[in-house]
């Protein structure tokens, strides 16, 4: 398994994967480790696409993904990929798209366990009343991403 890091406006992105695809993309407040030398070939395109996203050059990711999770979690994560850049959707609507609005709690829990930050856009899922509920990376990051994708942060990235 290869590892890479990318400094973003929201912190340090940790990227893990191999030739079978990205398994983990997470965000931390940590700095890039001093012993990190270079981006492994298997992760270069993922790092580049993340950098392009933050520079405003990319709205859609085209990457091989290989997240680890249950079949249900993977269904939720697949459906998240259908939420367009700049748009949001409620947990209830996501549950309905998956065929069972009564599964809203399980859908929300799966959304929260998404191992591929940003690329699988769990930040685009909000409460039915429009509130920013739950986000593993912190609600301030969720708010930043939603505003960025709606064009509210253009020109103030760096």
Active-site residues, by number, are 122
Distance CA 111, CA 10 (A): 20
The burial class, CB within 10 Å (0-12 / 13-18 / 19+), for 33 is exposed
Query: Which residues, at least 6 apart from 117, have a Cβ–Cβ distance to it below 8 Å?
Result: 13, 25, 26, 27, 136, 137
Least Cα distance to 93 among 144, 150, 84, 83 occurs for 83
Question: By the 8 A CB rule, do 46 and 63 touch?
Answer: yes
Give the Cα separation of 25 and 17 in Å (integer): 9
Tell me if 26 sits within 8 A of 3, measured CB to CB.
no
């Amino acid at each position: 398994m290869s590892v890479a890091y990318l400094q973003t406006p929201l912190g340090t992105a940790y990227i893990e994967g191999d030739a079978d695809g990205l398994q983990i993309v997470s965000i931390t407040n940590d700095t890039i480790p001093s012993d990190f030398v270079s981006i492994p070939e298997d992760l270069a395109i993922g790092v580049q696409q993340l950098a392009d996203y933050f520079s405003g050059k990319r709205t859609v990711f085209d990457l091989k993904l290989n997240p680890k999770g249950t079949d249900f979690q993977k269904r939720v994560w697949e459906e998240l990929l259908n939420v367009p850049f700049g748009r949001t959707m409620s947990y209830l609507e996501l549950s309905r798209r998956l065929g069972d609005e009564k599964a809203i709690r399980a859908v929300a829990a799966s959304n929260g366990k998404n191992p591929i930050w940003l690329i699988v856009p769990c930040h685009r899922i909000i409460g039915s009343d429009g509130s920013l509920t739950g986000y593993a990376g912190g609600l301030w990051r969720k708010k930043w991403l939603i505003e960025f994708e709606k064009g509210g942060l253009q020109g103030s990235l760096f």
